[in-house]
Amino acid sequence: MTEDNLYAGREQTLVKHLILQRYLKRFAMIIGQVWSSITYVDCFSGPWQSRSAEFADTSFGIAVQELRRARDELAERSGKAPQLRCYFLERDADAYERLHGYARTFTDVEIATRNAPLEDSVADIERFVTGVTPKPFSFVFVDPTGWSGFALDRIRPLLLLKPGEVLINFMTEHIRRFIDSPDEQTRRSFEELFGSADFRDQLAEIPVTERRDAVVFEYARTVAAVGRFDYPSIAVVLHPQKNRSHFHLVYLTRSSKGLEVFKDAEKQSMADMEQARAKAQQRKREEKGGRYLFSAEEMHDPVHFQELRDRYLGMARKALESRLRNQIRVPYEQAWAIALFYPMVWEGDVKQWIREWTEQGSVSLEGLGPRQRVPQRDQHHCLVWPSGR
């Protein structure tokens, strides 16, 4: 089956899987050179709406494939390969049967499966992850269908796993619609998601039109603070046929290299997302009886994507300017991380602002060599905001 057939009608899942696949591919190659063991945990495994007999369109199938591929490549290159361990959790009994059947087919990866809700499984996951020596590097994927089942207090031990990274699918559109619900039980469920009611104060000031972003930013900052992740970032996944965000992927790492690799995966996948949305929108037009001379790509209007990117660029630039104003001297890697927290903002954008600021004289650069004009990370390069501006 081609990618088009596997994901037609659920292109948002394609984008999620592309980001995951591209990220894990490089993650496993990098981590596998240093750590002797990698543990991948899927807290909401599925399969869910999968069409592939080999589960090539599931997060667990993609993870196993990428981890094994990296391990084999590392073994071939250096003769040293990491041990691979996976923990797949699924609450639904039928889905679990299929998941378990898949897991049983591997003898070269240690795969534990469990048919239970995440709420009752965190201690078991922790035991699995920490139960080997030396410590493995863990990657935890949280991919729910709504906003329940991963209350902050429940997943706290998973956020604290070290060394480790976390990727959370935040169902933004769904959450935004219900977050102000007066229903007491719904209100409580959001407080559990955020770990307290404080998020309401943060959101109270934000105009309704900016709520969608504000909710996910607040969530990302909250989970990053709990797990002491220095480099949180967010990728946006748009609805295939409508001009609005569908969900966001919140990525949490303690390593600048991790952030760099995640942003590369995000950037590549944004281009694929626009292509997939073009096809999905063309399909919708054709289903309504339209006949077109132009291809899906030619018919696709990129304005929504561009407006959204401009909005995030504006937010990132404002956040960086505000840090410069308050802190005066900001190491380049810190400036980079502040900006790359935002979706659709990449290193080239940060360098472009710095070029503009230095040309205007509003920022000066410190620590660059005589022939260097562009700051780099980890070379003690600093941005300096003239005091009094």
User: Footprint of ligand SAM on this chain (CB under 6 A)?
Assistant: 44-46, 48, 58-59, 89-92, 95, 117-119, 143-145, 149
Of 177, 161, 335, nearest to 246 (Cα)?
177
Residue 88 has φ and ψ, to the nearest 5°, of -115, 125
Of 3, 84, 17, 85, nearest to 46 (Cα)?
17
CB of residue 379 vs ligand SAM: minimum separation in angstroms? 38
CB of residue 81 vs ligand SAM: minimum separation in angstroms? 26
What type of residue is 18?
L
Closer to ligand SAM by Cβ: residue 54 or 297:
54
Closer to ligand SAM by Cβ: residue 95 or 235:
95
Q: Are 281 and 296 in contact (CB under 8 A)?
A: yes
Of 221, 218, 220, 216, nearest to 237 (Cα)?
216
Of 148, 123, 43, 55, nearest to 86 (Cα)?
43
CB of residue 124 vs ligand SAM: minimum separation in angstroms? 12
Please state, in angstroms and rounded to a whole number, the distance separating the CA atoms of residues 36 and 133: 9
> For the packed helices 152-159 and 211-227, what is the interaxial angle rounded to 10 degrees?
50
CB of residue 377 vs ligand SAM: minimum separation in angstroms? 32
CB of residue 22 vs ligand SAM: minimum separation in angstroms? 14
Please state, in angstroms and rounded to a whole number, the distance separating the CA atoms of residues 7 and 21: 15
Query: What residues have CB less than 8 Å from 202, skipping those under 6 apart?
Result: 214, 218
Closer to ligand SAM by Cβ: residue 174 or 311:
174
Closer to ligand SAM by Cβ: residue 251 or 346:
251
Q: How far is CA 84 from CA 58, 192, 195, 202, in A?
A: 18, 33, 32, 41
Closer to ligand SAM by Cβ: residue 87 or 336:
87
Of 228, 69, 62, nearest to 141 (Cα)?
62
Closer to ligand SAM by Cβ: residue 91 or 279:
91
Closer to ligand SAM by Cβ: residue 236 or 320:
236
Give buried/exposed letters for 213-241 (b at 16+ CB in 10 A, else e). bbbbbbbbebbbebbebebbbbbbbbbbe
Query: What residues have CB less than 8 Å from 387, skipping those under 6 apart?
Result: 328
Closer to ligand SAM by Cβ: residue 143 or 349:
143
Give residue number: closest CB to ligand SAM: 149
CB of residue 128 vs ligand SAM: minimum separation in angstroms? 15
Closer to ligand SAM by Cβ: residue 123 or 208:
123
CB of residue 266 vs ligand SAM: minimum separation in angstroms? 17
CB of residue 48 vs ligand SAM: minimum separation in angstroms? 4
CB of residue 104 vs ligand SAM: minimum separation in angstroms? 18
